Structure 1
Amino acid sequence: MGWRGMLGFEYGIVQAPLGPDISGPELVAAVANAGGLGLLRAPDWEAPDYLRDLIRKTRSLTERPFGVGVVLAFPHNENIKAILSEKVAVLQVSWGEYSEELVLEAHSAGVKVVPQVGSFDEARKAVNAGVDAIIVQGREAGGHVIGQDGLISLLPMVVDLIGDRDIPIIAAGGIVDARGYVAALSLGAQGICLGTRFVASEESYAHPEYKRKLVEMDKTEYTDVFGRARWPGAPHRVLQTPFFSNWKNIPAHENEVNQPIIGRSTIHGIEKKIHRLAGTVPNVTTTGDIDSMVMFAGEGVGLIREILPAGEVVKQLVEGAQLLVHTKFSGL
């Protein structure tokens, strides 16, 4: 194991399961080949055969272990069965309840369970369920954010809760570079989980215009404007694009259902119409009014200055963190 490895992975770098299909096999395999933990994103509907194919395609690109993220707010039972039958390294879960029985079933299949939490109470439930690691997500994160606490206050509380238990804590929310990595380690984390930084990578399945805006823009906002009908009660952090700035104050009863179609995408093999105010980010297949679509991003987006290969992102994070520790803090 290399510097700051965890869960059997060489480095403590986790690539978040970017939805709905932004973290595909190419991105996940690139992160895995670089020594990190890459996470596919399962479809938000039951598609076990498709998911098996996705897992097998990823395995054709890497011999290293990886995982799959499942959003429990959507239908998922058959998808989880497929994940366990394929014996991927990690089942990552978020936005919903999971049982101790599920954790035991995953362990019987040789699969580690890693939930993402946004509060101290969620972390305590995770510990009681017997999970293998916990991703602690602060309000600074991009995309759908379940908690209200900032990472710098929530993370050490969860670290104290874990105590001397062998449950690695992974920090998420606004981290994009080596300085954020070292800061998370200083708060007690064993690793970091990055979303926005990996969206802005060469292998991500995000639309080129979305990637370009992640480099050019530096402001985000926490909102509930997008996808209200499909996923109510799921606030999110987005880029402050001109479209968002013009629409962010719409009445609470308004949602995507009565809005016009502004584009189309093929998502996990299925053609989808995209309504204005939908919560679907543009992928490489998306056509239409891209600038008027949601673009998730964390607060650290202003530190992203170029699109890099995912392996280079991992390399820069690890080498940069090592350099900081050895040059800035070794004499303390």
Structure 2
Amino acid sequence: MGWKGILGFDYGIVQAPLGPDISGPELVAAVANAGAVGLLRAPDWEAPDYLRELIRKTRTLTSKPFGVGVVLAFPHKENMKVILEEKVAMVQVAWGEYPRELVCEAHEAGVKVVHQIGHFEEAEKAKNAGVDAIIVQGHEAGGHVIGLDGLVSLVPRVVDLVSSCGIPVIAAGGIVDARGYTAALALGAHGICMGTRFVATVESFAHPLYKQSLAELDETKYTNIFGRSRWPVPHRVLQTSFLMDNGQLPDHENEDSKPIIGHSVINGIEKDIRLFAGTAPNARTTGDVERMVMYAGEGVGLIKDILPAGELVKRLVEETKHLIQQLLIA
């Protein structure tokens, strides 16, 4: 096993399941081929046949293990059946509980379960359910953010909670480079999970303007104005010029009453995109992309280029090794 391997993978680097379909087969395969953990994102609706196709397409691009991320807040039972039938290496679940009986069902199929949490109480439930690893999402994270605690306070508490059980803890939120990886290890984490940095890669299925904006802009905003009618939870987004001019939305308003500003094909289905929708632009998106939501974590100001995903993994490992060696010598 390579440096800081977790869950049977070579390296302790997890590529977050990026929605709506930004972490597609090409990105996941590139991450897996580099020895890290690549995660597809299951559709936010029941689409078992489509999900099976995604999994099988990914297998044509890599012989390495990979996983699938599932948002439990959306319909997922049929999708989960496919994940277990296809026996992917792991399933990452978030935004809900995944009780012990379902963990046992996954284990019977040979699938590991990784639960992403944002509150200490959620970590206790995940531990009791017998999960194989816990991703601790800090408030610094991009996209939909579960909790309010930062990584510096939350990660050590979860590490202490599960230390006697041998459950690996993976830190997520604002991490984009070797310094963030090293800091996470110092907090007791066994690995890191990155979303924003993997959006800004060659193989991600994000719209080119979204990728470019991640490399050019530096600030984020924690808000609740995007996608209220579909999923009214707080999220961290890139501080674009549109957001700076339109950062407030009355509590009684949502995207349903707003004009259509674009169109896309998401997980095989044609979709209209309205102003203030929660749908990040993928590569098939057309229209006024500059006014669409672009999720990003607090570390976005450190992203200056669009790299191949495999090169990103290689750099992270080598630079983190070097940094740790320097710190030990000092």
Q: Same fold (TM over 0.5)?
A: yes
Which residue of structure 1 aligns with residue 69 of structure 2?
Answer: 69
For 1:166-245, what aligned pairs fall within 5 Å after superposition?
166-232=166-232, 234-245=233-244
Gaps of 5+ in 1: none
1:285 aligns with 2:284: yes
Count of aligned pairs:
330
Q: Deviations over 1:101-157 (max 9, x none)?
A: 110000000000001000100000000000000000000000000111011110001
For 1:254-293, what aligned pairs fall within 5 Å after superposition?
254-293=253-292
* Displacement of 1:319: 0.3
For 1:132-151, what aligned pairs fall within 5 Å after superposition?
132-151=132-151
Identity over aligned pairs, percent: 71
For 1:1-332, what aligned pairs fall within 5 Å after superposition?
1-232=1-232, 234-327=233-326, 329-331=327-329
* Displacement of 1:19: 0.3
Instruction: Name the aligned partner's letter for residue 86 of structure 2.
Output: E
Q: Deviations over 1:25-50 (max 9, x none)?
A: 00000000000000000000000011
Distance 2:31 2:17 in 1: 12
Gaps of 5+ in 2: none
Distance 2:38 2:223 in 1: 27
Distance 2:275 2:97 in 1: 30
Distance 2:73 2:164 in 1: 32
CA RMSD of aligned residues (A): 0.7
Which consecutive segments of 4 or more residues in structure 1 shift more than 6 A? Answer: none
* Displacement of 1:246: 1.8
What SS is found at the alignment partner of 1:330? helix
TM-score, length-scaled by structure 2: 0.99
* Displacement of 1:331: 3.1
What SS is found at the alignment partner of 2:136? strand
* Displacement of 1:250: 1.6
Distance 1:269 1:130 in 2: 34
Distance 1:160 1:223 in 2: 31
* Displacement of 1:200: 0.1
Instruction: Name the aligned partner's letter for residue 136 of structure 1.
Output: V
Deviates more, 1:38-47 or 1:155-164: 155-164
